[in-house]
Structure 1
Amino acid sequence: MQKKSKKPLLRALVAALGFSATLGASAADPLKVGFVYIGPIGDHGWTYQHEQGRQAVIKELGDKVETSYVENVPEGADAERVIRNMAKGGFDLIFTTSFGYMNPTLKVAKQFPNVTFEHATGYKQDKNTATYLSRSYEGRYVGGFLAAKMTKTKKIGYVASFPIPEVIRDINAIQLALDKYNPGSEIKVVWVNSWFDPGKESDAANALIDQGVDVVFQHTDSPAPIQTAERRGVYSVGYASDMAHFGPKAVLTSIVNDWGPHYVKSTQAVIDGTWKSQDFWGGLAEDTIRLPISDLVPADVKAEAEQIIADIKSGAFHPFTGPIKDQSGVEKIPAGVAATNAELASMNYYVENVKAELPK
């Protein structure tokens, strides 16, 4: 098998020496970049947005890269098999795009030290393994503000996938916004234990609406909760991609992930031989997250939401600024202190006023 892992180092050496001559056929070979997806590229949500990121790599880097993907890869043994097959198949850079891929990615990475790996939403790095995620809690907080202003029942619903830190902190961000802008409002959570299952997602949304919820959030990948909200005549907040067209009378905003810039930057770094392991958090300030606000939202409320977005972007406001207590009243973040990335990455508790019970 061709040792493609040496190409970035060779290119970097040539650039450093100021050579303009080509390196021959071997150095001209494109960088092989692989993507492992949890769902189908047509899910209109999480995986769809990662696929848009892959397309951005192709558009920006052209014949410098050769990309491929595998979709619908379950977390666990199947993921490890797919990741290992990519590494054995000569891929130079592999992006794994779901939380449950973390340990399989690390295991394969140790076996292939000359391949570069990046894992989405995880918290474990190694010499050849980086992590990246979006600060989705920033979008959730803004969505929580909109929900606080638009709700009539003071009951907000959340269709949740799995009780991992990312999902828990997003639920908490919504509750923090509700507490500030409409005290007494509560968030109700239904766990579907799946990332992509339109039937379960729709059933969960219906169950929440039956309990009086009039704004539905989701941390799942299909537009089913949005379509259910539209059909039932309540508001909703989309996730991962802009879901307004699935619920034009329901969607207040969507927390849109744009992975393209990060994928392009990381891929170019591998080509240049400058890639280093890191823990990348992209939020509103980095344009990794966008929040298109619907005209369903009154102009004054929209203006206030846009000011919150501006304050988060500038660093003037952090949604997880203390004092913040957990459900039992124990202080987790002191007054005036913003949560660190490490605290956010390991969040395993509900904040005060979340009435739901956290699964064990």
Structure 2
Amino acid sequence: MLRRTLLTSAAMALGLAGTAFAQDKVKAGFIYVGPVGDGGWTYEHDQGRKAVEEALGDQVETVFQESVPEGADAERAITQMALSGADIIFTTSFGYMDPTNAVAAKFPDVKFEHATGFKRETPNVSTYSARFYEGRAIQGHIAGKMTETNKIGYIASFPIPEVIRGINSAYLHAKKVNPDVEFSVVWAYTWFDPAKEADAARALIENGADVILQHTDSTAPQAAAQEAGNVITFGQASDMAEYAPKPRVSSIIDNWAPYYIDRVQAVIDGTWESTDTWDGIGPGMVGIGEISDTVPEEVKAEALALKDQIAAGEYHPFTGPINKQDGSVWLAEGETASDGDLLGMDFYVEGLSGEIPN
């Protein structure tokens, strides 16, 4: 009887130790606006999540919820993830900003990281984003050089500063190398809707565009361009290399992995602090996908030189002189835009037609 009691006590002790060990494992949660198989934005965030698992091994457990609509549904999903024991939660879409801060106020011991937002209302919220406009400058350069119709189409998601910055950057750099270029912007009012995105691409192509850029998340515009024939495209958020060498001639790649690993490691180490991160090509958060041989060698060399200049901090994509759409001066000769101006950008630059929706 004594032996059985001792063995039972030992087993219980081992069980408790195992429970304690399991509880020491940091749980990292991810809320996604699209499906992990979207081939773009959500796909790359999920690649970052997988990189966390690979890098941190037994120290971490990750969970995710995909296709969470922005708004009230997001607050419910984030709350449920916090209740399930997550130690850190990454909310990966602009429209999750208010829900993230609302839930963070109720769970002060949980760390929250919001992608592309600007509100940090409690000390347990951080914000992070990438300077996508740097990649748009390179795309604009290639687009301006390669268009034969001088018509470039742009599929935009929502009229928020991040998207407006991208349109302006691409246009400025296309116009710089091709003064005759015209941009047509179609607002899709979605991040991920393959049918809508394909329809937008087809409409732009029917209107004469032979270059399509996008700030939406699916590969549907690539497929529509492939069907059309003499149209080129650029991968958005991920490489979309399955459409190379044409129509996809290059891409902007969002590399979230180093940031996610670093932030989860900080939770493990007990060193996590509320921060605001906005990195670009130089630090590696924005990557430029391989430029295919469809692009003439001279244009490819120019694009890579521009990339190197941006990475080294030798060139800023928003360097004056630049006027606003109404002709008023925004940046004087040689002046560069401040981060504050860029983060609040709500206007088109001179030369772009149409109005930004409210």
Q: TM-score, normalised by structure 2?
A: 0.92
Q: For 1:331 and 1:123, how far apart are their aligned partners in 2?
A: 27
Q: Which amino acid aligns with 1:155?
A: K
Pairing partner for 1:117 from 102, 112, 115: 112
Alignment of 1:61-210 (within 5 A): 61-125=56-120, 126-210=122-206
Residue aligning to 1:278: 275
2:197 maps to a residue whose letter is E
Contact 2:245–2:293 (CA<8 Å) still a contact in 1? no
| In 2, Cα distance between equivalents of 1:316 and 1:225 | 33
Q: Which moved more, 1:202-211 or 1:319-328?
A: 319-328
In structure 2, list runs of 5 or more residues that go unmatched: 1-16
Deviation for aligned residue 1:149: 0.7
Aligned counterparts of 1:331 and 1:114: Cα–Cα separation in 2: 47
2:277 is matched by which residue type in structure 1? F
Q: Deviations over 1:116-162 (max 9, x none)?
A: 00000111123111111111101100000000110011111111111
Shift of 1:28: 6.4
* Aligned counterpart, 2:351: 353
CA deviation string 1:285-341 (max 9, x = no partner): 111111121111111111111100000000000001122221101222333222122
Aligned-partner Cα distance in 1 for 2:23–2:36: 30
Q: Which amino acid aligns with 2:316?
A: H
Aligned-pair CA distance for 1:109:
0.7
Residues 74 and 99 of structure 2 are in contact (CA less than 8 Å); yes or no, is this contact kept in structure 1? yes
**Is residue 75–residue 103 contact of structure 2 (8 Å, CA) maintained in 1?**
yes
CA RMSD of the aligned region, Å?
Answer: 1.6
Question: Which residue of the partner structure matches residue 228 of structure 1?
Answer: 224
SS in 2 for 1:68: strand
Q: Highest Rg: 1 or 2?
A: 2
Determine the structure 1 residue equivalent to 2:263.
Answer: 266
Query: Where does the alignment leave 5 or more consecutive residues of structure 1 unmatched?
Result: 1-21
Residue 321 of structure 2: aligned partner:
323
- Partner in structure 1 of residue 6 of structure 2: none
SS in 2 for 1:240: coil
Q: 1:251 maps to which residue?
A: 248
SS in 2 for 1:253: strand
Q: Which residue does 1:304 correspond to in 2?
A: 302
Displacement of 1:247 in angstroms is: 4.9
Whether the aligned pair in 2 keeps the contact of 1:242 and 1:254 (CA below 8 Å) is: yes
2:24 aligned to 29, 48, 53, which one? 29
Maintained 8 Å contact 1:230/1:247: no
One-letter amino acid matched to 1:177:
H
For residue 277 of structure 1, report the CA deviation from its aligned partner: 1.3
Q: 1:219 aligns with which of 215, 219, 224?
A: 215
Identity of aligned residues (%): 54
Q: CA deviation at 1:58?
A: 0.2
- Give TM-score, length-normalised by structure 1: 0.91
Cα distance in structure 1, aligned partners of 2:64 and 2:296: 42
* Rounded Cα–Cα distance in structure 2 between residues aligned with 1:247 and 1:163: 29
Contact 2:142/2:174, CA 8 A, preserved across alignment: no
Displacement over 4 Å in runs of 4+ = none
Q: Deviations over 1:20-57 (max 9, x none)?
A: xx9x9358621010000000000001000000000000
Q: Which is worse superposed, 266-275 or 243-252?
A: 243-252
Matched to 1:86, the amino acid is M
SS of 1:263 mapped into structure 2? helix
For the 8 Å contact 1:146–1:252, the answer to whether it is kept is no
Corresponding position of 2:9: none
1:63-100, Cα deviation, whole Å (9 max, x unpaired): 11110000000000000000011112211100000000
| 2:235 corresponds to | 238
Give the number of equivalent residue pairs. 339
